[in-house]
Chain A
Amino acid sequence: MENMHDVVREYVVNEYVEDDTEVTNDTPLISGGIVDSFSMVSLKRFLENKYNISIPDDKATPEAFDSVNKICTLVKEYIG
């Protein structure tokens, strides 16, 4: 079975990283300038499609999306 952390990290790297910046599960994504708040929407939609969930807009905050670990914690809340 796919590891959620690996899936999310791979998506973040492919989607947002355009140089050799290393992304770990704790790397600050938004506060660290890797993901701008504008581009968060594709990450949210990717997670919703991938895990067949719906994340309310008021829960998809920059803080909740600020690392792979935090994203996975959020997603797990909405997986049945």
Chain B
Amino acid sequence: MAYSEKTRGMYSDILTGLQDAGLFKMERFIHSPQAADIEVEFPTGSSLKKVINICANNYLGLSSHPDVVKAAHEGLDSHGYGMSSVRFICGTQDIHRHLEKMVSEFLGTEDTILFPSCMDANAGVFEAVLTKDDVMISDRLVHASIIDGIRLCSAMHDTFKHSDMAHLESKLQLHHDRRLKIVITDGVFSMDGDTAKLDEMAALCEKYDALLFVDDSHASGFIGKTGRGTHEKYGVMGKIDIITTTFGKGLGGASGGCVSGRKELVEMCRQKARPYLFSNTIAPPVVAGVIKVLEILSATTERRDKLEKNTEFWRKGLTEAGFVLKDGDTPIVPVMLFNAKLSQDVSRGLYEEGIYAIGFFFPVVPQGQARIRTQISAGHEIHHLEKALDAFIKVGKKYNILGKSKQEIIEMYGM
């Protein structure tokens, strides 16, 4: 037997080390569909507790929407469960290409290619379109999946300080001699909820003849007046060369992602991107569900409008209660607690009050920037948010952090 006691012991020690360092991740079992109201088994083995979920990426409340569920059922009946093949052998159905065309229309791009996830899209896209003669210049806070994609690519890589346009410009000047330059950013940054300055970035890319890449996973469907994404918010639709996004958040929340943009770049992915070439694409029922999601969002802005109102209500309520928030206007509203243990204690306190929200701390966020990341949904009604606000205030009072500044909280609890 190759898996010796010595090997087992080695892994046990590593896992114990993670537990000792407070970095061991635990899953909480949800027994209901994803929604504003969920039933949770936590700790494992305990009886189910009904709680309000304010930490899902279910921004548009479509994860369990009856029309989407019905469409997925119909897709299952009409197109089957799985494809048992990668796309280019016998794994492409009419609905896959239909969804690609719908996504292109929705995002205002030339073409789109589906991937099993946006993680896969980000892992595959750079190696497919760049060579060692090129340079990738990325914001220092881009998502982990982009960093993995960059690692897999032979092109040179450099970074610029988060949202610092002067620093980006200096990097574009420094790398002027590369065959291609590509600037890489998230549209909405998932931990802070701020948005990339895409208008300024597009102008710089034009000035220095660079491509512009945006991962809009935390934006597609609801950022911008008609929910097309961060490029709509900043008035640069048609000026982004590559957009990657996910169907696992606002756009139904199931799974799958895509690369959307210039048709030649999309075709390069179809020819060369390894997660596309060597993995099945999105399963038929999920494709049918996403098609329905895009139909709903193309017909009306009702859901993103409601999300915007809910976000305003939530941000105003927390601010008036005296919490320290990260500035922004997206549905990601981080409540800053700075101290890791405090973030865990507040999360536990909220759960006792029937509110499900998770504390994030180092290494997920920088040292000393622990927080509760709240995420608002169009699936929330005002009564959900009022109850969540009451719980936050109750727990905030318990830990004496209401009306306290960052400095005061750090003085009380440490970094």
Contacts and interface: CB of A to CB of B under 8 A. Distances in A.
Interface of A: 18, 36, 38-39, 41-42, 45-46, 49
Interface residues of B, number: 11
B171 interface: yes
Contact of B174 (A18, A38, A39, A45): A45
B294 interface: no
Contacts of B157: 38, 41
Nearest to B174: A45
Nearest to B167: A15
B159 A46 contact: no
22 contacts: A18-B161, A36-B159, A38-B147, A38-B150, A38-B157, A38-B158, A38-B159, A39-B140, A39-B158, A39-B159, A41-B156, A41-B157, A41-B158, A42-B158, A42-B159, A42-B171, A42-B174, A45-B158, A45-B174, A45-B175, A46-B174, A49-B174
Nearest to B150: A38
Contacts, number: 22
Contacts of B174: 42, 45-46, 49
Interface in B139-196: 140, 147, 150, 156-159, 161, 171, 174-175
B189 to A, nearest CB: 15
Nearest to A37: B157
Nearest to A43: B158
Contacts of A42: 158-159, 171, 174
Interface in B105-152: 140, 147, 150
Contacts of B159: 36, 38-39, 42
A42 B168 CA distance: 12
B338 to A, nearest CB: 14
Nearest to B164: A18
A42 to B, nearest CB: 5
In the complex, the 4 A-B pairs of residues with the closest C-beta atoms, listed nearest first: A42-B158, A39-B159, A41-B158, A38-B157
A62 B137 CA distance: 20
B378 to A, nearest CB: 36
A49 B150 CA distance: 25
Nearest to B137: A42
A16 B150 CA distance: 20
Given A39-B140, A45-B174, A45-B175, 13 more contacts: A18-B161, A36-B159, A38-B147, A38-B157, A38-B158, A41-B156, A41-B157, A41-B158, A42-B158, A42-B159, A42-B171, A42-B174, A45-B158
Contacts of A45: 158, 174-175
A45 B263 CA distance: 33
A18 B171 CA distance: 17
Contacts of A18: 161
Contacts of A38: 147, 150, 157-159
Interface in B248-278: none
B144 to A, nearest CB: 13
A38 B30 CA distance: 38
A22 B156 CA distance: 29
B113 to A, nearest CB: 27
B165 to A, nearest CB: 16
Contacts of B140: 39
Nearest to B162: A18
Contacts of A41: 156-158
B154 to A, nearest CB: 12
Nearest to B368: A19
B178 to A, nearest CB: 10
A77 B367 CA distance: 38
A49 B147 CA distance: 27
A38 B159 CA distance: 7
Contacts of B158: 38-39, 41-42, 45
A39 B159 CA distance: 6
Most buried by B among A36, A39, A46, A49: A39
A39 B136 CA distance: 11
A12 B159 CA distance: 14
A46 B156 CA distance: 14
A27 to B, nearest CB: 18
Nearest to B140: A39
A29 to B, nearest CB: 15
A39 B150 CA distance: 12
A18 B369 CA distance: 14
A41 B405 CA distance: 39
A46 B158 CA distance: 12
